């Protein structure tokens, strides 16, 4: 038997405020290491540690590759690097982005799950989309405890809701409440034995930057007729879940929710392009019909008018398919431009 001694926290939009509240509630003798990933983008300047330190009784630093974890210390992910833990040592991975992010929350949670098992606690704070849902499920799968910020208490509820949908979460509450929960959890005895799933080990290696190709991905996922929005490669559906996830041969990873969100602009653009081409074709056919009529070619004029009418119906279908107000406005502008320049 041993105590829980590793806390992994993830979030994005709204998570900075939540993390400040959580850290403010942890005592200065907190007997566990705390690791934190908050989406900061590839060009972040690693200011998060300095932002958190005034609210924390524990020292807060940006994670450094090769450092040994210390209890009572908070480590914040460095920009453009996945934060990974291997045998109690911090590793900064340059593996492919997950859910369009590096650092991403899932790699941290997976690495903590396979390194610590029941000794680990995973926490998901406020954020958009559902990065972290798969990682929290990995924590639970290896016997660790799980907690989420109450969606109603979150600035952005997507990540807490995604985590709740993805696994049976043990605890939820406000950020301040979660500090109390963590303080209690680290005092509890837990079993040390657990089985490390091979698929989680492979995903951690990918996040570290190890080689990933079709044969590697085929051991944990099945090929689908969907392309990767990051590199154009073929995506494979992960066999473990929920949540529903995909990886390409290069290793880019997406939940279905993030993938759908990323594909939507491409769909809108394709519809806009198709609509523009059809409406330009309508204008051309109408001009051809007028010219045929003037030349006395009645049959040809009727053919051009019929075809232009069919294309107008197709344009109406495409226009109806565009639901978002911004996209509809762009279509109206494109339609006006086509008619003006005809």
Tell me if residue 29 falls in helix, strand or coil: coil
Q: Partners of 82 in the beta sheet?
A: 93
d(CA 59, CA 96): 30
Omega of the bond leading into 69 within 30 degrees of 0 (cis): no
Q: Which helix (H) or strand (E) holds 315?
A: helix 298-321
Three-state SS sequence of 181-210 = HHHHHCCCEECCCCCCCHHHHHHHHHHHCC
Percent of the chain with pLDDT over 90: 78
Which spans in 39-174 are helix H? 48-52, 105-116, 133-141, 158-166
What digits encode the pLDDT tens for the residues 237-294? Answer: 999 888 999 999 999 999 999 998 887 666 777 777 888 888 899 999 999 999 999 9
Q: Which residue has the higher pLDDT, 260 or 61?
A: 61
What digits encode the pLDDT tens for the residues 108-147? Answer: 999 999 999 999 999 999 999 999 999 999 999 999 999 9
Residues 6+ apart with CB under 8 A from 148: 123, 124, 125, 136, 159, 160, 163, 164, 169, 171, 172
The confidence score (pLDDT) of residue 335 equals 44
- 211: pLDDT strictly greater than 60: yes
- Of the listed ranges 202-211, 272-281, 282-291, 314-323, the least confidently predicted one is 314-323
Comparing CA positions, the residue from 236, 85, 103 lying closest to residue 94 is 103
Taking a C-beta distance cutoff of 8 angstroms, is the pair 102, 81 a contact?
A: yes
**Two structure tokens written together for 49:** 């540690």
* Angle of CA points 200, 137, 112, to nearest 5°: 55
1 — pLDDT class (breaks 50, 70, 90): confident
Tell me which residues are annotated as active site. Answer: 12, 39, 131
Cβ neighbours around 184 below 10 Å, total: 11
Mean pLDDT score of the chain, rounded to an integer? Answer: 90
Count of residues making up the chain: 342
Q: Partners of 35 in the beta sheet?
A: 8, 75
The confidence score (pLDDT) of residue 333 equals 41
Comparing CA positions, the residue from 163, 174, 170, 169 lying closest to residue 185 is 170
d(CA 95, CA 83): 11
- 73: pLDDT strictly greater than 70: yes
- 329: pLDDT strictly greater than 60: no
């Amino acid at each position: 038997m041993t105590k829980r001694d590793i806390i992994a926290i993830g979030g994005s939009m709204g998570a900075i405020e939540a993390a400040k509240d959580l850290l403010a509630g942890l005592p200065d003798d907190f007997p566990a290491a705390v690791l934190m990933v908050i989406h900061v983008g590839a060009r972040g300047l690693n200011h998060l540690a300095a932002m958190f330190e005034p609210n924390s009784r524990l020292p807060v630093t940006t994670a450094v590759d090769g450092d040994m974890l210390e209890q009572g210390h908070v480590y914040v992910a460095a920009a453009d690097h996945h934060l990974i833990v291997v045998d109690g040592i911090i590793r900064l991975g340059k593996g492919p982005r997950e859910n369009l992010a590096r650092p991403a929350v899932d790699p941290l949670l997976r690495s903590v799950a396979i390194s610590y098992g029941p000794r680990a606690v995973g926490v998901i704070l406020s954020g958009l989309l559902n990065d972290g849902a798969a990682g929290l499920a990995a924590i639970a799968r290896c016997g660790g405890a799980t907690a989420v910020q109450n969606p109603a208490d979150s600035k952005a509820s997507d990540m807490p809701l995604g985590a709740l949908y993805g696994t049976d979460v043990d605890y939820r509450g406000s950020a301040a409440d979660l500090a109390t929960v963590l303080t209690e959890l680290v005092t509890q005895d837990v079993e040390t034995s657990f089985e490390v799933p091979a698929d989680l080990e492979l995903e951690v290696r990918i996040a570290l930057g190890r080689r990933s190709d079709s044969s590697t991905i085929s051991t944990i996922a099945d090929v689908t007729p969907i392309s990767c929005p990051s590199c154009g490669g073929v995506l494979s559906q992960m066999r473990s879940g929920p949540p529903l996830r995909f990886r390409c041969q290069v290793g880019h990873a997406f939940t279905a929710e993030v993938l759908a969100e990323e594909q939507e602009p491409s769909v809108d653009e394709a519809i806009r392009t198709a609509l523009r081409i059809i409406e330009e074709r309508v204008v051309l056919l109408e001009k051809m019909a007028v010219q045929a009529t003037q030349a006395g070619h009645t049959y040809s004029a009727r053919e051009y008018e019929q075809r232009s009418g069919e294309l107008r119906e197709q344009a109406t279908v495409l226009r109806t398919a565009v639901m978002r107000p911004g996209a509809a406005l762009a279509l109206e502008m494109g339609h006006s431009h086509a008619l003006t320049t005809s």
